[in-house]
Amino acid sequence: MDEAREWVQRFVKWYNFIQLHSGINFITPYQRHYGLDKRIMENRIKVYEEAKRQHPECWSRNTRDWSLPEYVALNPTKEGEIAHCGFISI
């Protein structure tokens, strides 16, 4: 049982603090929850724009869309349920 608890603790730490999640544009849940995501995205946008400016030959289109989703949920819900459950936009 102790081994299982340790495994779960390691997994939760990895999932929340290390793993970059594609659904929230490659930031961690910790970064999103504590509002660090906005600064990270502002920096990413600058880095990508500078890379494109310096090497336009490497870009056939625009840079990636680094906008953040309005709502984040582990198990996505229908739009009507968001207001009903008291979820607010971040």
* 30-55: average pLDDT: 94
pLDDT of residue 71: 76
DSSP string spanning 28-81? -HHHHHTT-HHHHHHHHHHHHHHHHHH-GGG-SSPPP--PPPS---SS---HHH
This model's pTM is above 0.85: no
Burial 45-65 (b: 16+ CB within 10 A, else e): eeeeeeeeeeeeeeeeeeeee
pLDDT above 90 (res 79): no
> How crowded is the C-beta side of 50, counted as CA atoms within 13 Å?
6
pLDDT of residue 64: 86
pLDDT of residue 90: 45
Higher pLDDT, 62 or 87: 62
* 56-81: average pLDDT: 79
